[in-house]
Amino acid sequence: MSEEPYFSAERQRMVDEQLLERDIVDPRVLDAMRMVPRHSFVPIEHRHLAYADGPLPIGRGQTISQPYIVALMTQLLELKRDDTVLEIGTGSGYQAAVLAYIAKEVHTVERYADLARLATRVLDGLGLSNVHVHMGDGSRGLVEFAPYAAIVVTAAAPSIPKPLLEQLAEGGRLVIPVGSRGGQILERWRRCGSEYDRDAITPVAFVPLRGQFGWDADDMC
């Protein structure tokens, strides 16, 4: 018997109870969260918890974020259908898949080769040809395809990486958790010419962003 009817019902329950009852109101975000099979991005041993209200481990000390946080960060990006988006921290690929249902093109950067390969396999299996997975130091952005209408960072930075601000298009939005390793504030930055407006959104807890403009090995000790 196929598991899909069960997972489909769980996905709808997730939207109804975790998103609609909070502050997720963008219909495109809600539709994407209904469509993307989160269980496909979760390790088999945790698949029964795929639609639970919390993050789950995916290996390498990384997690697949809580569904609500994925939806909130996506909503904060204010995406349009013809936008090109940069994601820093591919992880499981779930956030990239949600973005792919809304935006024209998604570039996503992953530090760990094994996670990048697995995410690529799942995304390709879902036919999401508008997602492009890259290996590298995400804290430096991905200048080859800049500027971006939106950038989302799914790991915590000690401060705003300057290259990400520079790679925003005019009016572009950057959503990123910023703070200490123990806790951060989710922030949204918007480019206005050579100036940037900042909104503090909500306290969050993410795994650290590693790289030149993130936490280095000494910081992690």
| Residue 160 falls in which region: left (phi positive, over 0), alpha (psi -120 to 50) or beta | beta
58 Cβ neighbours under 8 A, 6+ residues apart: 41, 42, 43, 64, 91, 92, 115
Q: Return d(Cα 176, Cα 188) in angstroms, integer.
A: 7
Ranges of beta strands (E only) in the chain are 56-59, 62-64, 84-88, 105-110, 131-135, 148-153, 168-180, 183-192, 195-204
Q: Are strands 62-64 and 183-192 parallel, antiparallel or unpaired?
A: unpaired
Query: 213 with 139: CB under 8 angstroms?
Result: yes
Q: Are strands 131-135 and 56-59 parallel, antiparallel or unpaired?
A: unpaired
Q: Are strands 56-59 and 195-204 parallel, antiparallel or unpaired?
A: unpaired
40 is catalytic: no
Structure tokens at 96: 């990239």
Catalytic residue among 2, 8, 40, 65: 65
Active-site residues, by number, are: 65
